[in-house]
Amino acid sequence: MRPLSLFILFCIAFIRPCYSQESPYFVTYDHHLEEPGNLEIETSSTMGVPRSGQHFYFAPYSEIEYGVTGRWTSELYLEGQSTAGDSTIFTGWRLENRFRPLKREHWINPVLYLEYEGLNEGSRIQKEIVGNSPDVSSPNAELRRVSAHELETKLILSSQVHDWNIAENFIVEKNLSEDEGFEFGYSVGISRPLATLASGGECRFCRENFIAGVEMYGGLGSTLGFGLHDTAHYIAPVIGWQVTDNSNLHFSPAVGLTHGSNPLLLRVGYSYEIRGFGTKLSHWLGGKR
């Protein structure tokens, strides 16, 4: 049996119901991290509706998120892309880490973000938008030959005001493979649950199981040309649904605001959380010795 199949079977063996708080955002990060020892497996997709002369693309990605400590969460991403009338390619991987420097909850909660990316120019998942508008016209065979090793940092500021979450991200990215300067981007989001009081009985479609909001994100050029010229920007309503105690579905249609944007991005994601995975893994490994 292949290693990937063994890993999936192992994860399923340890699945138990659990409760999770899941942000509805696709691009913006808030200050909520994964609980220590919990493992979350997520699959998401970005679908780009093209302008005239361009092609529709479908960009799926998978992520594995683990709560290393209460103030440190780490994630691994694998991504691909398929363009109508062209081809399907693997576009690369990302390793992300988020750190909360402050232990307690504050009016503004900062989070430090560091990500290393091994991608090619065919990447379309748009987990962040930085610099200038991406190339969506060249064929995949050409884009996959241009690889990049990139370092991305974010300053995440997030506040909880009553039932509302307000989050702002400032992004700086450096392509270590090319001398392109530093690229900049931003994202902001606001969201809240549709209800805060739980209903009396078990109900999956009750308002308290839904969280809704809006986020806006885009590029801000680079040190070679800072500003809004030839950049992509989107505004996107977001909604999340707590399908079960340990699974979540979220959806967002993002509307392009500039000529460098796609007219529409359709995003959908599904996540499943395995509570206490680290403890169960330690016990399992200890029993095998």
Intervals of the chain under pLDDT 70: 1-21, 199-201, 287-289
Give the pLDDT score at 199. Answer: 67
Give the pLDDT score at 13. Answer: 39
Give the pLDDT score at 251. Answer: 98
**C-alpha torsion sign, points 244, 245, 247, 252:** positive
End-to-end CA distance of the chain: 22
Residues in the chain: 289
Tell me the Ramachandran region of residue 281: left when phi exceeds 0, alpha when psi lies from -120 to 50, beta otherwise. alpha
**C-alpha torsion sign, points 117, 123, 129, 133:** positive
Give the pLDDT score at 243. Answer: 95
Residue 185, strand partner residues: 171, 219
Give the pLDDT score at 212. Answer: 97
Residue whose C-alpha is closest to residue 97's, from 121, 79, 80, 77: 77
Give the pLDDT score at 21. Answer: 53
Let me know: does 184 contact 198? Beta carbons within 8 Å: no
Give the pLDDT score at 44. Answer: 98
Let me know: does 26 contact 44? Beta carbons within 8 Å: yes
CA gap 227, 134 in Å, rounded:
15
Give the pLDDT score at 53. Answer: 81
Tell me the Ramachandran region of residue 104: left when phi exceeds 0, alpha when psi lies from -120 to 50, beta otherwise. beta
Q: What one-letter code names the amino acid at 66?
A: Y
Give the pLDDT score at 288. Answer: 63
Q: Which domains does the chain have, with CATH numbers?
A: 24-288 (2.40.160.40)
Please give the backbone phi and psi of residue 241, each rounded to the nearest 5 degrees, phi first: -125, 120
